[in-house]
Amino acid sequence: MKTITICGSMTFYNRMVELKQKLEKLGWNVFIPTEEETKFKDMSLEEKIRAKKQYIEEHLNKIKDSNLVLIANFTKNKIQGYVGANTLIEIAFSRVLEKPLFFLEEPDEQGCIDELRGFDFKIISDLEDLK
């Protein structure tokens, strides 16, 4: 069974869950971030740092164990194809591991657009296009 890791802003967590369900119906084993990552606002700074380190390490290990990576880069703050700092880290890590990268939206102008343009990725419009 092929394995895929979904990466993206935690703002999109519920949409990542929906993608996971759809991909599982297509026969994929799917990793997504843990829901606990959505609860940072209730943590002290020290707790956030400790938790963030753990979540980053766990998610990077999911990428290691995957055949490919799907970037759930929806529109956020009026930026089409939004990619935040953590997702950019995950994209770079995926590239180092030579994992095929797929995006759901073409990234629009944003702080890291030049870096994004430096990566090889494919935009998909249908989850069945993942191969």
pLDDT band at 41 (very low <50, low <70, confident <90, very high): confident
For 61-115, how does the pLDDT look when each residue is reduced to its tens digit (9 = 90+)?
999 999 999 999 999 999 999 999 999 999 999 999 999 999 999 999 999 999 9
Query: Which structure tokens are listed for 68?
Result: 């490919």
CB 26 within 8 A of CB 51: no
CATH of domain 3-129: 3.40.50.450
- State the pTM of this model: 0.93
Would you kindly state where each structural domain of the chain is located, as residue ranges?
3-129
